[in-house]
Amino acid sequence: MQRYRWVYKPLLFLACLVPLAWAVGGVLQLPAVPSLGADPVRRVLGIFGHSALNLLLLTLTVSPARQLTGNAHLLRLRRMLGVFAFTYALLHFATYVGPFQSFSWNAIVKDLVKRPYITLGFTALVLLVPLAVTSTNAMMRRLKRRWQSLHRLIYPIAILGVWHYWWQVKKDIREPLIYVVLLAVLLGWRLRRRQRQRALTSKSASPTAPETT
């Protein structure tokens, strides 16, 4: 338990900061940071978007990893992954509204009409807000069972995020296809496990068959 608090969690925190450091270092053109290319704004937009999606899928990976390894302490890392996923999704949106669209609301509205995948991404961000707000221990104690029901929103959020990425890719769909497969495996694992639990519950609750003479 102490290792997770003093070693693993700080290391994970630093790892989650790497994309942000890369984007900031690229904008400042620091010599030790790889160049952002000819279109740095679009590149930063992609860094934040990919980071949000990667962290969402990592958040969904924690429960299967805990079930396969039997290591319950892995759950201590899930909250940090979720908060960072929201942070990068918010940075992705802020980069789109600010540097990418220059706060031109007319252009943003036209983009929403022309590119529905932006609406999907914005919807995922809005759904992430209550999860981020209720990620504290105090909110967990206050909401009790409702907290778990609320945080099941992570499933449609992940679907919307992958869908958002799929729709914006026009030709080469190999990378978004990887995300689709990973999400399908993660959701399929949960569905299969729930079906097995229901089967065991119904089996234990069924009345014992009468003995025959």
Q: Provide the pLDDT for residue 113.
A: 85
| Average pLDDT of span 169-175 | 86
Q: Provide the pLDDT for residue 205.
A: 65
User: Two tokens at 129?
Assistant: 């807000």
| Average pLDDT of span 134-158 | 93
pLDDT band at 131, cuts 50/70/90? Answer: very high
Q: Provide the pLDDT for residue 199.
A: 83
Residue 174 has pLDDT above 70, yes or no: yes
Q: Provide the pLDDT for residue 3.
A: 81
56/127 Cα distance (integer angstroms): 13
Q: Provide the pLDDT for residue 6.
A: 84
Read off φ and ψ for residue 170, nearest 5 degrees.
-95, -40
- Enter the pTM of the model: 0.91
Q: Provide the pLDDT for residue 206.
A: 58
pLDDT in tens, 99-118: 999 999 999 999 888 899 99
Report how far apart, in Å, the C-alpha atoms of 66 and of each of 71, 74, 142, 151 are.
Answer: 5, 6, 26, 18
Residue 29 has pLDDT above 50, yes or no: yes
pLDDT band at 22, cuts 50/70/90? Answer: very high
Burial class (CB in 10 A: 0-12, 13-18, 19+), 120: buried
Residue 211 has pLDDT above 70, yes or no: no
Q: Provide the pLDDT for residue 187.
A: 96
Report how far apart, in Å, the C-alpha atoms of 121 and of each of 73, 135, 158 are.
Answer: 31, 21, 10
Q: Which residue has the tokens 């009345």?
A: 207
| Average pLDDT of span 191-197 | 89
pLDDT in tens, 39-72: 999 999 999 999 999 999 999 999 999 999 999 8
Sequence spans of domains, the chain = 2-201
